[in-house]
Structure 1
């Protein structure tokens, strides 16, 4: 298993993982992801902010990061943090604790880039995800009603999000 940046030739695989994740979200009564703009993923790849876990030459999981997330984190966005978005795991690799691998990687990334926090959010109050992310080492900071979602993907519109943070 290794973690590396996603590449342009991974885009179709990334979108397939997003589709599978969205289908899975629907079975769990979670807020499903919308179809993401291909340009967004291309930009993340170009900016080296889209990552993947590769196991036996197969993409097992993907996610993106950013170092600013003001519309979700508001005033807290001033804190030095790395933000994790859109973790999507292949069904072939569910149950292998890949989020823990992402957490381990994220902590090292954050320290290397002089950040104090690793943060993430989920849309809606998904108790299963809250428990899981807490097991992975995140503190659940509670629910937050988003005020301005104009620059966020569609599933954030008029949403309440769960906020998670890990201090380094």
Structure 2
């Protein structure tokens, strides 16, 4: 996947050299969520992060040495999207923003890149899931054009990251 350069940031694959910083981002996000009594991650699965890096499915937004955020994509998500999975979507997962760069529209950068990438691949949808019992984050994603499809409780399966098992999620979709 190609590097995207703009005036102020780049989007490129993460590497194993980024692992310690990625783990720190997840740990800081969990601490922030707990401190503020928000609904969100309570843990994260290092194996899935490593797989995403190995499979070149995790990306970072950077400017120089600064990592603004990381996110993962995949092209099939049958465990969560079940019969709706038709091989015509890109799925966003595990978006974590560096606290130093919160409020700087990181999700907008991620979404714009994914829209462009999905169109290049002739995909019809961008899909994601988030916590069903967090109406603020659902409304946030809807403000970017996502539609709430349904709520779904994920199965307890090793096919999902640890933090995603037995979780009630809101399925969100943007048609391209």
- Tell me if 1:31 matches 2:40: yes
Shift of 1:119: 0.5
CA distance in 2, matches of 1:24, 1:153: 20
Runs of 5+ in structure 2 lacking a partner? 1-8
| Number of corresponding residues | 166
**What does the per-residue CA deviation read over 1:99-143, in whole Å, with 9 as the maximum and x for residues that have no partner?**
011010001111111210001001332011011111122112231
User: Within the alignment, does 1:88 sit opposite 2:99 as a pair?
Assistant: no
Q: CA deviation at 1:154?
A: 2.3
- For normalisation by structure 1, the TM-score amounts to 0.91
Q: Secondary structure at the match of 1:125?
A: coil
Please tell me whether residue 63 in structure 1 is matched to residue 71 in structure 2.
yes
Note if contact 2:75-2:87 (Cα within 8 Å) is conserved in structure 1.
no
Q: Is 1:155 paired with 2:130?
A: no
For residues 28 and 140 of structure 1, the distance between their equivalents in structure 2, rounded to whole angstroms, comes to 24
> What are the superposed Cα offsets for residues 71-120 of structure 1, whole Å, 9 maximum, x if unpaired?
11011112410000010001111001110110100011111112100010
Distance 1:144 1:10 in 2: 33
Provide runs of 4+ in structure 1 moved above 6 Å: none
Would you say 1:20 and 2:28 are equivalent positions? yes
Q: Which moved more, 1:43-52 or 1:151-160?
A: 151-160
Conserved? CA contact 1:79–1:116, under 8 Å: no
